[in-house]
Structure 1
Amino acid sequence: MYWHVKNKDDLVQLVGDEVWNEIGLVDPDAVGWRAAVTSMVFGLRDMCTRHPWLVQAFGSYLLYGPAKARYDDHCLAVGAGFTPAEADQVAAGVFTFVRLDSPAADFGAAPEDSFTHGLSTLLDGYEDQLATRQAGAAVRRGCPSRCRTEFSRPSGRCRRPPWAQSA
């Protein structure tokens, strides 16, 4: 076996990348943001269920290659509306949720509706963040303390600390 692959570590990394191709990636423009994320999450969960060794490998190996890059790029594309950093946080939050639910996490099998409920609650929170961002973008204006910055959120608070605001 090791004639084509140098050692076990290389084999785990190669196969660990290849399994990411098992996840179907749907176009968020065609089905909507939430449906695209839901499809990706269930694909990720199914992949982790089929390959429980993979969840353990996440802690020991840097599993990154073309297939994982394809998945990550799609995660960021589905996260349109979020800043790049927020889209990365959303992807990491969803990934962690799925990983903790996988059979390899060894927490026992939760009913399917528990997973669906948890995912729905998680996505509701992200959707609320998007709605708040979109509503806030419509009403942004200059800081009342004339420091010439925009509000950090629709609450109307300047993002500069009080000691740095001009009078």
Structure 2
Amino acid sequence: MPRDTLTADRIVHAAIELLDDEGLDGLNMRSLAQRLGSAATAVYWHIKTKDELVRLAGDAIWYEIEQPDLDATDWRTAAAVQAAGMHAMLTRHPWLGQAFGSHLMHGPGQARHDDLSLAIYEKAGFTAADADRAAATVLTFVLGNALGPAAEVSLKRRLGKNGADAEQLMTEAMTRAVETAQQYPRLRERLGTPAASQYIAAPDNTFEFGLQSILDGFEARLTADRTSRRE
């Protein structure tokens, strides 16, 4: 592909696909250029470093998150929609959580999301400082819940290198984990349930349960604050 047919947007889109397939460790300019049908030197004309490419790719995927219209919905519905959208995005792109710990991540996509988060919690009735805390609480919760699926993808990729059977290795590890769990009463009791083979994984609807519990807490705090101001 001639250099003048490349654009930064096309490169970033291809980088996202490569990151989804291979993770951060699999991203390099040579592999990216092959995916684009170009030479690595042509990619460098548009994006100078791998770190910059990761930052741009990481920021682009924030635009995938649905941004609810605050004029058309209540704050709690908006908060739930935005949090669920972020969780889905992080699940689709498990490398982003890893990138937060190894790259300087910033850009207009993330800023757009963060600004709406603050608007949601200000609409709820929080002061500016407490809106910051509320947004940070939900962000941390969503990141934590997305960590498990992301870690599983990364683990399977690592275990599968050099021709190893990742599924078999994980099955063997699960068997040993179940044997260990038998020594503890509450875990042993749960091993008799239909989900026994996956007892280490988060139960179904854990994300929804946790998010609604956080929003319940926010609502209770706001109600208590309003009551105290009236007294």
TM-score range relative to shorter protein? 0.7 to 0.9
Q: Which position in structure 1 is the counterpart of 2:102?
A: 60
Q: Using the TM superposition, give the Cα deviation of residue 138 of structure 1 relative to its aligned residue in structure 2, in angstroms.
A: 2.2
> Structure 2 vs 1, CA of residues 9 and 64 (structure 1 numbering), >3 Å: closer, same or farther?
same
Q: Distance in 1 between matches of 2:71 and 2:223?
A: 17
**Secondary structure of the structure 1 residue equivalent to 2:44:** coil
For the Cα contact (< 8 Å) 1:28–1:78, is it kept in 2? Answer: yes
Q: Output the TM-score relative to the length of structure 1.
A: 0.77
Larger CA Rg, structure 1 vs 2: 2
Say whether 1:27 aligns with 2:69: yes
Q: Distance in 2 between matches of 1:42 and 1:20?
A: 13
Q: Using the TM superposition, give the Cα deviation of residue 55 of structure 1 relative to its aligned residue in structure 2, in angstroms.
A: 0.4
Q: Distance in 2 between matches of 1:34 and 1:101?
A: 19
Q: Deviations over 1:18-48 (max 9, x none)?
A: 1111111112342211100000010000110
Q: Distance in 1 between matches of 2:73 and 2:151?
A: 31
Q: 2:51 aligns with which of 2, 5, 9?
A: 9
Q: Which position in structure 1 is the counterpart of 2:207?
A: 115
Q: How does 1:12-161 map to 2 (within 5 A)?
A: 12-80=54-122, 81-102=125-146, 103-106=149-152, 109-139=201-231
Between Structure 1 and Structure 2, the one with more helix by share is 2
Q: Distance in 2 between matches of 1:95 and 1:79?
A: 13
Q: Deviations over 1:87-135 (max 9, x none)?
A: 11111111111111112255x6423411111111111111111111222
Q: Deviations over 1:43-72 (max 9, x none)?
A: 000110011000011112221111111111
Structure 1: stretches of 5+ with no match in the other structure = 140-167
Q: Tell me which stretches of 4 or more aligned residues in structure 1 moved more than 3 Å.
A: none
For the aligned residues, what is the CA RMSD?
Answer: 1.5
Q: Output the TM-score relative to the length of structure 2.
A: 0.56
**Secondary structure of the structure 1 residue equivalent to 2:46:** coil
Letter of the structure 2 residue corresponding to residue 88 of structure 1: D
Q: Distance in 1 between matches of 2:207 and 2:151?
A: 14
Letter of the structure 2 residue corresponding to residue 60 of structure 1: S
**Secondary structure of the structure 2 residue equivalent to 1:2:** helix
